[in-house]
Structure 1
Amino acid sequence: MGRGGASKDRIDGPHRKCIATGEVQPKFGLIRFVLGPDALVVPDVAGKLPGRGVYVAADRSALETAVKKKLFARAFKAPVQVPDGLVDEVERQLTRRVIELISLARRSGSAVAGYEKVKDMLAKEEGQVLIQAVDGSARGKTKLSTPHFGTYIGFLTADQLGMAFGRETVIHAALASGGLTKRVVEEAQRLKGVRQKDDDGSGHREGKRAL
């Protein structure tokens, strides 16, 4: 597991250098920033905004270092404006991105919610990712186990999972292999890196890879 929760298993694709750590790593484990109007530093979590970009590892301490030491101005080689709460804004955008991807997976039929549906998917060995709300009952969550060679995501709230499934709240969810699952896992890895708390607080028996 690399900085920001990025798995070292994936080494393909373009690499970029983090302006805070100096490490070169795959782009999927970094956060891109561009300059917006009035030289404002803007996070580009989707990596699609126009203009020259600079990169910071998906790691809260790296992001805070970039802000504190004024590394954006050095990287862009120009005066810049860093908005207050930039790191928190990155976290909000990544959270929204993970929720949206899970929602898309649900619409494509590769994501289910609810204890019984999740239990059934796991029993049939169709599930690759187990997702449980951080604020759900620890006792209830331990009744489900992460798929072998799968991934556990346990830091989204019940309200956030509910948004992904069009419900008020969701405690248990699962993703089947294929489809958008790989993207969900990658974005969840980035989000895990920039969150304040590193412990998911679930007391869950982790599988091969927990986020």
Structure 2
Amino acid sequence: MSGRTRARACPERTCVGCRERAAKGDLLRIVAVEGACVPDHRGTLPGRGAYVHPVPACLDLAVRRRAIPRALRAPGPLDTAALRLTVEQATP
């Protein structure tokens, strides 16, 4: 026996807001669609994705630092209204 454990590694991603690593399932994937940030709950939308914790504090940090357009490699500023609405609804 080799001493390896059978537990599978959980994929991790970095939140563009707080820059902390977390499990992929704990983060919200964001993609750019026609100049707007759109939440991708199922993770199936095409294109480059960025990840953020689904809390207003991390979203505010990401917007203030202009990290979302940079992570998505978008040419200009993106509309985050739909994303903000989704995050605020998810917060208890």
Q: TM-score normalised to the size of structure 2?
A: 0.73
- Return the offset for 1:15: 0.8
Conserved? CA contact 1:43–1:90, under 8 Å: no
Aligned length: 84
Query: CA offsets, 1:87-109, max 9 Å, x none?
Result: 223344xxxxxxxxxxxxxxxxx
SS for the counterpart of 1:51 is coil
Matched, 1:59 2:55: yes
Q: Max radius of gyration: which structure?
A: 1
Higher relative CO (Cα under 8 Å, sequence separation at least 6) belongs to 2
Greater fraction helix: 1
Q: TM-score normalised to the size of structure 1?
A: 0.36
The runs of at least 4 aligned residues of structure 1 exceeding 6 Å deviation read none
Match of 2:4? none
Match for 2:85 among 84, 88, 98?
88
CA distance in 2, matches of 1:48, 1:17: 18
- Counterpart residue type for residue 44 of structure 2: K
**Aligned residues with identical type, % of pairs:** 33
SS for the counterpart of 1:81 is coil
CA distance in 2, matches of 1:51, 1:34: 7
Match of 1:48? 44
Query: CA offsets, 1:106-134, max 9 Å, x none?
Result: xxxxxxxxxxxxxxxxxxxxxxxxxxxxx
Conserved? CA contact 1:41–1:80, under 8 Å: no
